[in-house]
Structure 1
Amino acid sequence: MNNDNNNVPVVLEEIEGLESALVVASRRLDRKRHIIAERDRVVAQHEQTIVELRHAISEHERVNIEQRHKIAELECMLAEHQRAIAERNAKIAKQERVTSERVHMIATIAEQADFVMSQAHKLTTMATAAAAAPHTLAAPGNAGPGNAPNTVAPGGVPTSDVALDDTASRTDDDTGDEMPESSHTAKRRRPNQQALEYMHPFVLIGQDVLAEIVRHLTGRQLVPACAESRRIAQELAGLEPFTSSIPQRTRAGLSELAGLHLLRRSDADLETLGSDLLRWLGLAEQPGAVVFGPRLCYVLVTLGGIRLERMTGAILDNIFRSIMGRTLRSLLVVTGSATKNMSADKLCSLAKVWARNLCDFVVEDGGIKRLQKAATRCNKYYMSECPTDANGNHCDPTGEVAKRVLRDDSNDSTIFLGFDDAHDLEVLCKCFFAIADNDVDKPTAERLRQIAKN
């Protein structure tokens, strides 16, 4: 009993020690639990960061893909720009070549003008002689109506005699209209279809220009129908060598006469001219392609080489067929009202209206600079309306866009549509006085003279 009582303090002390140890262990356990909770929180934060980083990586990958697509588009645009630059350089090279050819053509025209003026001097002498004997101007051995060979008068009218009738054909300076022929001259005219068949078609052009030169210099009308006159016309047309020894005279005023660019052309030159015009009209590679009305009118007025009132469908069709190898009727022409084939007479009428409208535009709207601006604006508008093909080229194979533009923008498009190079219009305006001389009033004619000089 006493021993048990003696062991109680020891047991109590051990219990207290165990309790202290339990408290310490509990505290350690709490600290470990706190550490574990803190670690769990940190792990959760890291997991959240990983999720955000993965999302950011996905976003960067998407942006990278978009940038790659954009880079590919920019590379395509760069390739298109490079192709456009190459095409523009090719076009510039072509324009330089055309300019060089035109400079050469102008030099050739100047040379031909010397020949024409020497012939005009010879005809002036003949006109003086005709004042004393106005009935015939036949070569020696062919005097008289019965022996004079037949030929074709200016404008394609066959005749059997020649006369320089001052009374019958003098021009009224106040009105610009020619007086009617005398009955004596008209009575001696008779058809000669054989002359039309065997003579070169450009003899007609040469005769017309020859008649214009004589009228401008002498005030008389030439009706070539004898051997001498026919020889002169054939020399001017380049069918015979030029043999005149008449000295050269001034070329003043000859630049105002149309058609000189067709004089004394060889067959090879005319074939080249025809190829260039077919290519310019878009008919070289596609013979059935549509032709813009204004462009065709420009070609007809330029090829006609005669004043507007003398232009006829038959003459224009003959010239066009001789140069191009095609008839005017075969062309598919685009106007503001339709796209169709037209007769030569209808196209001749359209060309006259176009020429007078261009003349009025130059006189009333400020001359060449305004003309160039209007042509540029018109063609930019047309190009903006045209659809593009797979290569990015503007295309209008049926001419529907051109017809709509001609109809909607009739003020300028009916004159300028299709003229990408305003230099052609400028050159045309410089020679327009001779074409429009008898179709406008005196103030307009004077204005055209100033344009031609400048």
Structure 2
Amino acid sequence: MDGTTWIRRGPGFTNMRRNIQDRLGPVNGAVVPGPRLFLALITLVFMDVSQLSDSVLNALLNEITGRGLDTVQVVTENIFGQTSSHRLCELAKKRVNDLCQLITDGTQVCELLDMATECLKQYRAKCQENGYDDIDGDKGGEISKKMLASNVIHSQLLFGVYLDDLKNLFRVLPCMAPNELGREATERLRLTSNSLLITSD
């Protein structure tokens, strides 16, 4: 990897490894909601999103977990199972661009966090309707796929994401996507995101 990529090191590295392994899911195991995967991948790097490539993400994942992107079982509105690392990288970049567009259009950070929370609430309710105790019961991803296809409350962007991942992304987004955000949205995001990171989920 070149100097444009930064792998997070230090005392929290073990926790970070455990967190990303949790977000990727087990090899040949339960499928991972696409939005969760995409935001988790983006928060691993600190570089201009427009320059992000699948080779960078694969190098990061191999160093941290020993896995490649093409081993991940993922579900989106039109993907079910494994797919190429290039496709996953492009989708991750697109989701960041979509998030930037919402912020540029005036959507507040707290609103996006509320949407992500509501997505999770509806997911849990659907799982319970289908006889599962919680979202872990949807290992095959059938419920996830239906909810992602409907795109209720921006589910294709926020469904299944960890709020800490979303908060961390808000913190670094002004540096990672300044062109996509624009000056006004960048400044607004900088003013509001830090206060949200004081508390954790």
TM-score with structure 1 length normalisation? 0.39
Secondary structure of residue in 1 paired with 2:4? helix
1:444 maps to 185
CA 1:279/1:384 → structure 2, altered by over 3 Å: closer, same or farther?
same
Residue 398 in 1 paired to residue 140 in 2?
Answer: yes
1:342 maps to 83
**CA RMSD between the two structures:** 2.4
Write the distance in 1 (CA, Å) between the matches of 2:165 and 2:117. Answer: 13
Matches within 5 A, 1:54-453: 156=1, 204=2, 207-208=3-4, 259=6, 262=8, 265=9, 270-283=13-26, 287-386=28-127, 387-389=130-132, 392-394=133-135, 395-409=137-151, 411-419=153-161, 421-452=162-193
Question: Structure 1 residue 273: deviation in Å?
Answer: 2.4
Contact 1:329 1:342 (C-alpha < 8 Å) held by counterparts: yes
Secondary structure of residue in 2 paired with 1:366? coil
Secondary structure of residue in 1 paired with 2:191? helix
Select the structure with the greater relative contact order (CA < 8 A; seq sep ≥ 6): 2
Write the distance in 2 (CA, Å) between the matches of 1:393 and 1:447. Answer: 36
Write the distance in 2 (CA, Å) between the matches of 1:273 and 1:326. Answer: 15
CA 1:360/1:450 → structure 2, altered by over 3 Å: closer, same or farther?
farther
Q: Deviations over 1:108-167 (max 9, x none)?
A: xxxxxxxxxxxxxxxxxxxxxxxxxxxxxxxxxxxxxxxxxxxxxxxx4xxxxxxxxxxx
Secondary structure of residue in 1 paired with 2:74? strand
TM-score with structure 2 length normalisation? 0.83
Question: Structure 1 residue 269: deviation in Å?
Answer: 5.6
Question: Structure 1 residue 437: deviation in Å?
Answer: 1.0
1:113 maps to none
Q: Deviations over 1:5-61 (max 9, x none)?
A: xxxxxxxxxxxxxxxxxxxxxxxxxxxxxxxxxxxxxxxxxxxxxxxxxxxxxxxxx
Contact 1:271 1:323 (C-alpha < 8 Å) held by counterparts: no
Write the distance in 2 (CA, Å) between the matches of 1:347 and 1:338. Answer: 10
Task: Tell me how many residue pairs correspond in the alignment.
Answer: 192
Ranges in structure 2 where 5+ consecutive residues have no aligned partner: 196-201
Quote the sequence identity (%). 28
Question: Structure 1 residue 365: deviation in Å?
Answer: 4.5
CA 1:270/1:369 → structure 2, altered by over 3 Å: closer, same or farther?
closer
CA 1:433/1:273 → structure 2, altered by over 3 Å: closer, same or farther?
same
Ranges in structure 1 where 5+ consecutive residues have no aligned partner: 1-155, 157-203, 210-258
Write the distance in 2 (CA, Å) between the matches of 1:352 and 1:280. Answer: 18
Question: Structure 1 residue 442: deviation in Å?
Answer: 3.1
